[in-house]
Amino acid sequence: MKISVALVKQLIETQFPQWADLPITPVAQSGWDNRTFHLGNDMTVRMPSAAVYAAQVEKEQRWLPLLAPLLPLPIPIPRAKGVSSSTYPWPWSIYGWIEGESTITGHIADLSQVAATLAQFLAALQRIDATNGPAAGQHSFFRGAPLTMYDAETRDTLKLLEGEIDSDTALAVWEAALAAPWHGPPVWFHGDIAAGNLLLKDGALCAVIDFGCSGVGDPACDLAIAWTLFEGTSRNAFRAALPIDAAMWARGRGWALWKALITLEEYRSTDAVKATAARRTIEEVLADDMHT
């Protein structure tokens, strides 16, 4: 459905009249799962873009205020929860605004320092008591679940991409990831650690946003950033600052490979930018595997 400034304004006026006079403007990089709008100077409105994302609202409303005080970087904190109406069919949220630039467009002063800071954030997240936390499942798009959830899709995609990538090495990387399952207790994971969800201030990592895919389970999904953003020295800094073993690193490589494969297959003929980024990730994953 179309989620517009006019719709958000109408919802604010009817459900939160105390903020009805505040200006509403779209956030430049709004994301796919949700549409995001500035509300005044210090709040954002976050609207699920489809029913499949709506379950994330209650999760974030319940858990983010509990996680935030235990983490070394700011994360979004809900200020209010909107409800469905005759004009919009799902719950939605109002959050405090976190100032910063996305690592997609912002200047990174020291990529290795960003990598180490992010690793420390993830390590702190994993240490938080996961009792009664939301187990990995549909709400997290199976981030945090075993990689076997995506085994058939990955093998099918590898067949479709034969001749375009090194399919033999990619299959070996995938099978190595499957052969290194998670045996630990479930821990907190973010679920979508990507460049667009990391904020910078003065070139340094200052916040982590968008916990829609978060939950408790295997945190290896949060390692995919090692091949999508980091490389060489920065990747080494990321790995060194995390409490992980070779098996988790192998699963992280599997998560990065799966996403890059399906992205390349989907966009290779329609979006050169996304396809090029996916090819780079695949190359980084396969090259890293050969030196592990």
Q: How confident is the model at residue 39 (pLDDT cuts 50, 70, 90)?
A: very high
What is the spatial distance between Cα 227 and Cα 167, in angstroms, rounded to a whole number? Answer: 18
Residue-wise pLDDT for 149-200, tens only, equals 999 999 999 999 999 999 999 999 999 999 999 999 999 999 999 999 999 9
Residue-wise pLDDT for 43-89, tens only, equals 999 999 999 999 999 999 999 999 999 999 999 999 999 999 999 99
Q: Which CATH superfamily is domain 102-290 in?
A: Aminoglycoside phosphotransferase (APH), C-terminal lobe (3.90.1200.10)
The alpha carbon of residue 36 and the mean position of all alpha carbons in its chain are separated, in whole angstroms, by 15
Task: Tell me which H or E stretch contains 63.
Answer: helix 51-67
Listed in sequence order, the DSSP H helices in the chain are 5-15, 51-67, 111-127, 151-160, 167-178, 225-228, 232-240, 246-267, 272-290
Percent of the chain with pLDDT over 70: 97
State the average pLDDT for the chain: 95
Beta strands in 202-289 (DSSP E): 204-208, 215-217
The type of residue at 107 is H
For the 5-98 domain, the top CATH level (class) is alpha beta
Q: What is the pLDDT of residue 289?
A: 61
248, 220 contact by CB (below 8 A): yes
pLDDT at 31 over 70: no
Q: What is the pLDDT of residue 28?
A: 77
User: Rounded to whole angstroms, what are the CA distances from 259 to 26, 106, 131?
Assistant: 28, 24, 29
Which residues are CB-contacts of 242 (< 8 A; sequence separation ≥ 6)? 119, 122, 123, 223
User: Rounded to whole angstroms, what are the CA distances from 142 to 59, 63, 180, 243?
Assistant: 15, 18, 17, 22
pLDDT at 133 over 70: yes
Listed by start position, the domains of the chain span 5-98, 102-290
Q: Which residue has the tokens 């949060």?
A: 222
